[in-house]
């Protein structure tokens, strides 16, 4: 059976990665101007895009125009329409590649996305839990009040994944709906709910840590193979991660075994010019020291933090770069080939489905998810979202 996910331990890059010299066979060739979409102007993702843009301007004369987007659809629409080259996106890029959740819609469907690079920093993505409840692991959340954020698939999927790690589902907790993410943390502080999904470094998490209830982060044992299998069956993009920054006293001296996934995820359409894709990645690696300290989380673009067997396929020119510097393996290529095959199947299935799809919104969603699951299962892939 084809596998979307790889073993739980992150694939170790060869030791030669740290002493390999970057091939100079191909010079960086970038256009005079590029356009990106990114998170809002107050986000670390936007700050990172600005830092990278400044580096490209000073080193290569490339001007980068950054379009901030308030939500996943507004960030990905310009990419879909070909109005920008890249999106410094969140995990919605994976949902887009899979054609699920907000992308299981007549205007969307599976998107032919390719990863250029990602950033994995010191923070984690976890359920923030009120510190007065003595919750030590996700299993301890049974019977607790857990926030559900209306209209935010990524946060709710993260919560579901953490519950699954502990052998729980939404049926094992008391779901409390909130209209927005910040409101859920107000609810924890007020004593109306007990947990909500976030990154460990957000201001709401800091506010909860300073409140009378305090904050705690459930520990994910990296050796709990069954827990990780359950979690990744729900959200295969999570990886074990030792969190060294966050609210509640998390630091390098007081780390928390938890989980994370990259943010931002810099994606392009499959047809992005090879020279642009190759040149951008090479520029990011060659000039890493010029921008790594210019924005929070920018250190996460280092080669050592790149997960070369993740859940969205790489652009072909990115694979070429990794081959040139000697870090690309046969196992990575097999994984890449499987992801490309999966995406091709999804696009083919969508094109066949959309021609005669139901007009009713609920019927459309159900019919598409059924057609998607049947196609993937028939080809030996795990549908994951069912």
User: Which domains are seen in the chain, by residue range?
Assistant: 15-120+262-354 (3.40.190.10), 125-259 (3.40.190.10)
pLDDT of residue 338: 98
The sheet that has 63-68: what strands, in order across it? 63-68, 33-38, 86-89, 265-269, 113-118
Of the chain, the percentage scoring pLDDT greater than 70 comes to 93
Of the chain, the percentage scoring pLDDT greater than 90 comes to 88
User: Within 24-146, where are the H helices?
Assistant: 44-60, 72-80, 92-98
Question: Is 338 within 8 Å of 3 (Cβ atoms)?
Answer: yes
Question: Is 102 within 8 Å of 95 (Cβ atoms)?
Answer: yes
pLDDT of residue 104: 97
pLDDT of residue 42: 86
pLDDT of residue 371: 98
pLDDT of residue 158: 97
The β-bridge partners of 314 are 115
Question: Is 103 within 8 Å of 96 (Cβ atoms)?
Answer: yes
Average pLDDT over residues 57-61: 97
pLDDT, one tens digit per residue, over 134-160 is: 999 999 999 999 999 998 899 999 999
* pLDDT at 124 > cutoff 70: yes
pLDDT, one tens digit per residue, over 16-39 is: 444 333 333 358 999 999 999 999
* pLDDT at 11 > cutoff 60: no
Q: Residue 95: helix, strand or coil by DSSP?
A: helix
pLDDT of residue 9: 39
Average pLDDT over residues 99-125: 96
Averaged pLDDT score across all residues of the chain: 93
User: Within the chain, where are the H helices?
Assistant: 44-60, 72-80, 92-98, 153-165, 181-190, 203-210, 225-234, 274-286, 288-291, 316-324, 330-354, 361-378
Asked whether the whole model's pTM tops 0.85, one would answer yes
Question: Is 193 within 8 Å of 209 (Cβ atoms)?
Answer: no
d(CA 169, CA 161) in angstroms, rounded, equals 9
């Amino acid at each position: 059976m084809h596998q979307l996910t790889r073993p739980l331990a992150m694939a170790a890059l060869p030791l030669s990665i740290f002493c390999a010299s970057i091939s100079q066979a191909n010079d960086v060739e970038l256009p005079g101007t590029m356009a990106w979409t990114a998170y809002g102007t107050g986000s670390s993702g936007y700050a990172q895009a600005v830092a990278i843009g400044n580096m490209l301007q000073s080193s290569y004369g490339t001007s980068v125009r950054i379009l901030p987007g308030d939500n996943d659809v507004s960030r990905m629409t310009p990419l879909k329409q070909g109005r920008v080259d890249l999106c410094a996106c969140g995990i919605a890029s994976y949902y887009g590649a899979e054609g699920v959740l907000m992308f299981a819609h007549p205007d969307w469907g599976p998107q032919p996305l390719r990863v250029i690079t990602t950033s994995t920093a010191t923070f984690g993505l976890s359920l923030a839990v009120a510190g007065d409840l003595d919750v030590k692991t996700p299993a301890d959340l049974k019977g607790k009040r857990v926030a559900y954020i209306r209209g935010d698939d990524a946060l709710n999927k993260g919560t579901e994944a953490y519950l699954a790690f502990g052998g729980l589902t939404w049926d094992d907790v008391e779901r409390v709906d909130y209209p927005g993410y910040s409101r859920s943390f107000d609810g924890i502080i007020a004593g109306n709910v007990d947990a909500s999904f976030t990154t460990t470094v957000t201001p709401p998490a800091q506010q909860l840590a300073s409140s009378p209830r305090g904050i705690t982060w459930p520990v994910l044992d990296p050796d709990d193979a069954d827990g990780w299998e359950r979690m990744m069956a729900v959200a295969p993009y999570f990886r074990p991660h030792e969190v060294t920054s966050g609210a509640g006293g998390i630091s390098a001296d007081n780390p928390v075994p938890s989980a994370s996934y990259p943010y931002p995820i810099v994606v392009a359409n499959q047809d992005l010019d090879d020279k642009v894709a190759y040149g951008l990645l090479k520029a990011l690696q060659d000039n890493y020291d010029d921008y790594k300290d210019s924005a929070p989380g920018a250190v996460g673009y280092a080669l050592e933090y790149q997960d070369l067997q993740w859940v969205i396929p790489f652009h072909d020119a990115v694979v070429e770069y990794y081959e040139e510097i000697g870090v690309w393996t046969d196992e990575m290529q097999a994984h890449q080939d499987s992801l490309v095959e999966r995406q091709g199947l999804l696009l083919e299935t969508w094109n066949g489905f959309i021609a005669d799809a139901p007009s009713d919104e609920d019927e459309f969603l159900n019919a598409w998810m059924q057609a998607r699951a049947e196609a993937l299962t028939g080809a030996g892939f795990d549908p994951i979202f069912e």
